[in-house]
Structure 1
């Protein structure tokens, strides 16, 4: 099982950013990460310096989010949808994307559900509840804002 460290994740995204800017070839995962990086140009400065990225502490101060966590969640949801795990997530995200008119916006809403599921899992000391996660995304897909 692949279990990258925080440093590995940050170097991965910074490397993808550099390869993308230099128009260098990328593997499938890097290409997908590059697509999500293109959706988030506000992260360009964070991605430009790998050493600074590795050293930086993202503590949520002043409302700042962690771009590496955000991009990792995009990748996670993309991978979940590609293999439909947990079962039903692909359909739920596709329905949410159709409803919102944007896959990117759908991912952001699914991230809320994913984060909630992980927080509840950690808090309760039990495995993540994939069904609850899918149901949360489905609920968002079937309700109007």
Structure 2
């Protein structure tokens, strides 16, 4: 299983965006990453700076870590492509309907649920609860949090 370091993961996004802008060939995963970056113009200038690989982002200061955000998007893309955990695609589809087919808004529902699930697992020292994650997404699809 591929387990990149923080810097490798960050360089993957930086390099994917650079290659996209230079119209170089991209792997399938780089193409997905470039599309995610395209959907987040607020991150593009940062990703054009190779020194961004060393930048720290502090939630206490109200900063969103763009690399974490994009990584969660990438993870969700993979989850939806194989419906893993089971039921995630159906739950996402409900979010998509609720958002009037706005794919990005629906993905942010899933992203928020995934972030909450990861945080709960870290706080409890237990593995992620996949069932609770899918249920959280389903609630969001019905209009609740």
**Shared fold (TM-score, shorter chain, > 0.5):** yes
Measured against the shorter chain, the TM-score band is over 0.9
Partner of 2:103: 103
Residue 56 in 1 paired to residue 55 in 2?
A: yes
Structure 1 residue runs of 4+, over 6 Å off? none
**C-alpha contact 1:19 1:26 (8 A) present in aligned 2:** yes
Segments of structure 1 that go 5 or more residues without pairing to the other structure are: none
Segments of structure 2 that go 5 or more residues without pairing to the other structure are: none
Q: Structure 1, residues 59-115: CA drift from partner, whole Å, max 9, x if none?
A: 125422111001001101110000111000011112211211211111111111111
Distance 1:27 1:100 in 2: 30
Partner of 1:118: 118
Distance 1:25 1:69 in 2: 24
Two-structure CA RMSD over aligned residues (Å): 1.4
Distance 1:43 1:18 in 2: 13
Tell me the matched-pair count: 144
Q: Structure 1, residues 24-66: CA drift from partner, whole Å, max 9, x if none?
A: 111111111111111011111110122x112111112542211
Partner of 2:35: 35
- The residue matched to 1:96 in structure 2 has which SS? helix
Distance 1:111 1:73 in 2: 6
Distance 2:81 2:139 in 1: 21
**C-alpha contact 1:92 1:137 (8 A) present in aligned 2:** yes
